[in-house]
Amino acid sequence: MTTFWKTALSHGLFLGLALVLFDYALYLAGQTEAGYSTWLMYAMLLVAAYLAARRSRDRHMGGYISFGKAFGSGMVVAMVGGTMLGLFVLLLFAVIDPALLQELKILAEEAMIEQGLPDEQIEEVSRLMEKFFYKPWFLALSTFLQFLLVGSLISLLSAALAKKEPEGSDAFRQATGEV
C-alpha cells in the first residue's frame, strides 16, 4: 500500500473515531435528534478529506496532487469514516440501547400527527416503517449510504480546494496553444 493510500486510510480512521465519539457523546447527552449534529459531522468530513489530500500533496507527492487523486483520497476518508459510524449505529440500536428504536417511532408518529395525517394513515405508515425501517441493520446501512453520498459531494469540494498541479500540466492550455 502506498503512502498516499495509507494517509487517506489513517485520516478515515481518525475521522471514524471522532464521529463515533461525537455520536456517543450526543447519545449520552440525550441529543440523538439534534439537527446540527449532522452538519457538524459533515464539517468534520470536509476537514479530514482536505487534510488527507493536502498531507499527501505536500509530504508525499512533491507539492502537487491532481483533482482525481484528491477526490479519491476524500472518498477513502468518507468510506472508512462512514463504515465506522454505520457500525456504531448498529451497535447503538442493537446492543447499547434497543429502546432507542421506540423513541424514533414515537418521534415519527408525533411528526405525522403535527402534519395532520388521519389516524388510519398514521397507523399504516407506522406499520410499514416498523416492518422495514426500524431495524438496527437498516439504520446502520442507511447511515453508511447517506454518509457516502454526501461524502462524494464533500470529496469534490475538498479535491477542488487541495488540487495543485505543476505549471504546464493543463491539458486544455496545451491543446489550444494558450490562445
pLDDT tens for each residue of 126-156:
788 777 778 899 999 999 999 999 999 999 9
In a domain, residue 149? The reply is yes
In a domain, residue 150? The reply is yes
In a domain, residue 126? The reply is no
In a domain, residue 40? The reply is yes
In a domain, residue 111? The reply is no
In a domain, residue 46? The reply is yes
Give tens-digit pLDDT for 59-86: 888 888 999 999 999 999 999 999 999 9
Model pTM?
0.83
Q: Which of 31-35, 87-91, 104-108 has the highest mean pLDDT?
A: 87-91
In a domain, residue 123? The reply is no
For residue 148, count CB atoms less than 10 angstroms from its CB and return exposed for 0-12, middle for 13-18, buried for 19 or more: middle
Domain that holds residue 51: 3-96+140-167
The number of domains in the chain is 1
